[in-house]
Structure 1
């Protein structure tokens, strides 16, 4: 009887410890979520404050009783933000599409084809990841300038149409596909391109989607390279537009209008993530091939 009582008390203590641990975990995650989301709330809040009320607040308030959308109108009228959004969309779509073609073909060649020096070439590719991005940017700038591609979409796009890391990621994913499928396809007379299109790409779709979305985010947020290679407003991206608003869009530092522009720029990426979040997680966590 005493043993049963002790066992029951022990079990009750374990349950209490488990509940306490779970409660502590939820409290920590909630606190961390608030920390992470607060900058977004502050951005949105500032974007609906009037210029006068924002500057009148010596200590910024965490709410406003008189929200306004005038800042959004100012963001589009002070600079051609719509034009910059269109430029960014074109740059993002073209760059991502070209990169997906390049890295898919390169990853397939390293994963499935046999040619002399393949391992040496791939090792050389991986070694390029050790080179600081700033050094590569200097080389790219010199090349684009010599080719007369400054202030052009070609100059913006070309240096970004490949990625060693994405080639490596996709190659590892391609190598998870059983070799038996490739040998069976070759016996049937299937070409490598057809095998890639009909077999490899459907199986590895989650990784491809993830890479594509990550590239879209990278292009949409691109700042340093567009700032370096373009000084013509006709080719400015949204990142350059934000800086232009700060520097000469209003003749003064209009933080609420800048925040409104940032909200407009951020919304497409937030929507993209919410729509494809399951595919992103599936691509990141994919460790095998479903049979």
Structure 2
């Protein structure tokens, strides 16, 4: 009986995985097949790279890649510093109103990002940061989710390590970066995965605040390309462009799948 339940659960997992992979397989097949066979149900081994060449020549995807990588890396770097310092303060420091301030941070997790679009846009307009990479990145330099995740991780680290490090002459800054940071690597990896995937796929906010090619990320560039007059219903080119956007994240996940899963498990994310 237990073997039957295990077999049934695995069968359901494989079924859901197969259903999830259907759009990706269709996208890949359409991107590599000749245009005449793009929507054909017949099987064929005819493959071509012409769609990718046409897409790369028709839109500045090279610039979009540079913009996206710069935004993703910069946001992650700022978040790592800000959430680390805030989480350490909530976990180990004592100050007036700490519980109330932490509750306010937790409340931000329940507020959808789309609700803050108008006030953020107004602030950027006052600062003359519209249509800039900094304007795209600025609302994400801090993360309530990251602060909560790292605070919970820091609380599991024995406080005796702080006392021992202080007796050795370590400052709080050294304690943070030489003890807490290495011990919380699984949590950092889990948060890094969430941050990178979110910023790479972020669409609505960059669409609103960017107007130039020099500042558009891949998601906005792909949408503009897909809706352009030149492409229209040419599914081969649209599929090739979409594959160019999603391939980096898929490659990273496939290369570091085991590390990602272990980091989520060790960080307490179920």
Q: Provide the aligned C-alpha RMSD in A.
A: 1.8
Q: Deviations over 1:12-43 (max 9, x none)?
A: xxxxx344334333332222221111111111
Name 2:150's counterpart in structure 1.
170
Equivalences, count: 268
**2-structure distance, mates of 1:225, 1:276:** 29
2:8 is aligned with 1:24:
yes
**Counterpart of 2:41 in 1: which secondary structure?**
coil
The change in CA–CA distance for 1:120 and 1:25 in structure 2 (over 3 A counts) is: closer
Preserved CA contact (<8 Å) 2:190 2:260: yes
2:236 is aligned with 1:252:
no
TM-score, length basis structure 1:
0.87
User: Quick check: 252-261 or 24-33, which moved more?
Assistant: 24-33
Unaligned runs of 5+ in 1: 1-16
**1-structure distance, mates of 2:100, 2:6:** 50
Q: Give the counterpart of 2:198 among 218, 241, 245.
A: 218
Preserved CA contact (<8 Å) 2:63 2:213: no
Preserved CA contact (<8 Å) 1:45 1:64: no
Name 2:104's counterpart in structure 1.
124
**Counterpart of 2:256 in 1: which secondary structure?**
helix
**2-structure distance, mates of 1:84, 1:108:** 36
Preserved CA contact (<8 Å) 2:218 2:245: yes
2:183 is aligned with 1:203:
yes
2:143 is aligned with 1:159:
no
Preserved CA contact (<8 Å) 1:45 1:63: no
Name 1:97's counterpart in structure 2.
77
Preserved CA contact (<8 Å) 1:79 1:244: no
2:49 is aligned with 1:69:
yes
2:166 is aligned with 1:186:
yes
**2-structure distance, mates of 1:191, 1:172:** 22
Unaligned runs of 5+ in 2: none
The change in CA–CA distance for 1:249 and 1:78 in structure 2 (over 3 A counts) is: farther
Structure with max Cα Rg? 1
